[in-house]
Amino acid sequence: MAKSSFVYVTFIRTTPEKLWAALTTPEFIKQYWFGMNFESDWKVGSPWKLIFPDARIADTGEILEFEPPRRLVLKWRNEFRPELNAEGYARCSMELEPQGSAVKLTIHHTIERADSKLIEAVSGGWPRILSNLKSLLETGEILLR
| Rounded-to-integer distance, Cα 65 and Cα 62, Å | 9
pLDDT class of 143 with cuts at 50, 70, 90: confident
| Rounded-to-integer distance, Cα 88 and Cα 65, Å | 19
| Rounded-to-integer distance, Cα 3 and Cα 137, Å | 33
Render pLDDT for 63-114 as a digit per residue (tens, 0 to 9).
Answer: 999 999 999 999 999 999 999 999 999 999 999 999 999 999 999 999 999 9
pLDDT class of 7 with cuts at 50, 70, 90: very high
Please list the residues that pair with 67 across neighbouring strands.
Answer: 71
Question: Domain total for the chain?
Answer: 1
Type of residue found at 144: L
Domain of 96, CATH number, reads 3.30.530.20
- Domain with 14, as residue range(s), is 4-139
Render pLDDT for 36-60 as a digit per residue (tens, 0 to 9).
Answer: 999 999 999 999 999 999 999 999 9
Instruction: Give, for 83, the enclosing helix (H) or strand (E).
Output: helix 82-85
Domain assignment present for residue 116? The answer is yes
Write down the pLDDT at residue 76.
98
Domain assignment present for residue 144? The answer is no
Write down the pLDDT at residue 144.
81
Domain assignment present for residue 145? The answer is no
